[in-house]
Structure 1
Amino acid sequence: MNMDVTVPLHGKVALITGGTSGIGLETARVLARNGADIAINGFGSADEIEEIRTSIGATTGRRVEHFAHDLSDYGQASRLVADALAKCEAVDILVNCAGVQHVCDIERFSDDAWNRLIAVNLSAAFATIRSAWPGMKTRGWGRIINVASTLAMRAENQKSAYVASKHGILGLTREIALEGAPLGITCNAICPSWVLTPLVRQQVEAKAKELGLSFEETARTAFLRDLPTRRFVETAEVAATMLFLCSNAAKSVTGAAIPVDGASTVR
């Protein structure tokens, strides 16, 4: 499914956390096809990372660098932008896509699980935004996109840390939008519903095992039943929204929480 819109991003560098799989990887491909050089952060084997770098580079002609910083470590998260700048000279577009999940009722939710989830989903975004800010301010142009969730606007059982982190991302987005408004820097949040990323696939598989159902039946009855479209959102649809937000056509779109959710939040 090709969701490309012609948005020339030549001369721009996009740093994408969580860029080695799912929404982040598709975003890297779309932004590169539209002219941006790419810095991706994320996990994977050396062979997997090299395949991503070479495939995006070969199909787009753009430069692709990889950074393996562990965003659950605040020190590494804080160094990510500086290390990207050392290789890429600029970070014009920052996409905070890295995320983790832990499903558990509150009385059994461990400190370690809470701290890791808040670190990756929220604190790392603060660290990367703060580090990228001076360069964007100097250039008078910047695009910051935080991947939130429909759970930035509501709650769901057994996801206390995830819901808290995504509500936090939405608040951070709005604050950064205010600070960036006179500087030519926009900051927006994208709020997808169920996207069949590796993270969501793990949740479906765990639920299928619990219910004794097939993957397809579990997805249909436990995950997609509240989506009017009755299908998973595609990574290409989210990436296309990212592309629009990076364009000059979106220079007055800032502080927004944009649902890409199959109408699931309008009920």
Structure 2
Amino acid sequence: MAHVHMSGPGGVSPPPIPRPGGRAYLAAMTTHEFPAGTARRAPRPPSPRPAEHTARVDLTGKTAFVSGAASGIGRACALRLADAGAAVRLVDVDSAALAGLADRGVGEPVVLDLTDLDAAEEAARGADIVVNNAGVQTVAPVQDFPPDRFSFILRLMVESPFRVVRGALPHMYERGWGRIVNISSVHGLRASAYKSAYVTAKHGLEGFSKVVALEGAAHGVTSNCVNPGYVRTPLVERQIAAQAAAHGIPEERVVSEVLLARTPLKRLIEPEEVAELVAYLCGGDASYVNGASLPVDGAWSAS
């Protein structure tokens, strides 16, 4: 089968990239492409984890397309939307993880290479809800950034969402209802050094989301971006451990002094917190929320 191009276990390995050294690289690090380290796991600060969902969302009878559904934010979104009654198409490279979710009754596994743009568009047909979540990261100075890698990231994170939405819109327009939620980032609102492709892609996704909001409004279709800061995902936890080992500092210092240096609220975001906002945007109570970019970043973007 074809595969989603995702960093991490089971993903397609991208071309190797140069790794800048020194403190500038440490300050620029983000969520992908770091091997597991040997340092002890970062402590898990208290996070609000409600016993039951707070948003009143009923998605019975709706079909949701969720990319990057095997882990992290995508997995949390798939679980939350399924809990609200949606039939979820679980799109990812990790067939084993998708099968595990399907065995739990969460949804239908779709093992798909999202950079196969025709296939991505076809897979989204008939969806009432689209959650564009799949993405990768590469950290390198502009002068060292491999051009093929830059093109790959834009293909996965801008062209693929365009084709997915293009495939879903006819059905949404016909029904007079649709929800598109693009998992952007604080880096869709701000920039960081050494992340040229990622920042470019997220800013492009922001613009595309707003265009769809304008075009879809008359058809009952909303389009919004969710902009998380650093989320506690397996990729982030491996990154923390690797950087702690590489630089000889405790994991809690990597979190507080590097990842969250510009974030007043000094904890990682839980994937379920992002998923709760996504569920709200997919529900009836958010019918007038359209063309928005909603930070979930502990006031990072306010600084």
Amino acid in the other structure paired with 1:236: E
Moved more, 215-224 or 6-15: 215-224
Per the TM alignment, residue 115 of structure 1 is displaced from its structure 2 partner at its CA by 1.5
Amino acid in the other structure paired with 1:76: A
The number of aligned residues is 253
TM-score by length of 2: 0.80
Contact 1:204–1:219 under 8 Å retained in 2: yes
Measured against aligned partners, the alpha-carbon deviations of 1:76-101 in whole angstroms (never above 9, x if no partner) come to 3233224xxxxxxx311000010110
The structure in which a higher percent of residues are helix is 1
Per the TM alignment, residue 206 of structure 1 is displaced from its structure 2 partner at its CA by 4.3
CA distance in 2, matches of 1:203, 1:122: 25
The equivalent position to 2:221 in structure 1, one of 174, 178, 185, is 185
Mapping 1:1-267, distance limit 5 Å: 1-2=49-50, 4=53, 5-46=55-96, 48-55=97-104, 57=105, 64-82=107-125, 90-267=126-303
Task: Report the identity percentage.
Answer: 38
Contact 2:132–2:182 under 8 Å retained in 1: yes
Amino acid in the other structure paired with 2:175: R
Contact 1:16–1:28 under 8 Å retained in 2: yes
Per the TM alignment, residue 205 of structure 1 is displaced from its structure 2 partner at its CA by 3.9
Measured against aligned partners, the alpha-carbon deviations of 1:22-44 in whole angstroms (never above 9, x if no partner) come to 01100111111111111010121
Amino acid in the other structure paired with 1:44: D
CA distance in 2, matches of 1:32, 1:188: 20
Moved more, 156-165 or 219-228: 219-228
1:86 aligns with: none
Contact 1:77–1:128 under 8 Å retained in 2: yes
- RMSD of aligned alpha carbons: 1.5
Runs of 4 or more off by more than 4 Å in structure 1?
none
Q: Do the aligned partners of residues 229 and 29 (structure 1) sit closer, same or farther apart at CA in structure 2, a change above 3 Å counting? A: same
**SS of residue paired to 1:265:** helix
**Comparing both chains, which one has the higher relative contact order based on Cα–Cα distances under 8 Å and sequence gaps of 6 or more?**
2
**SS of residue paired to 1:143:** strand
Q: Unaligned 5+ residue runs, structure 1?
A: 83-89
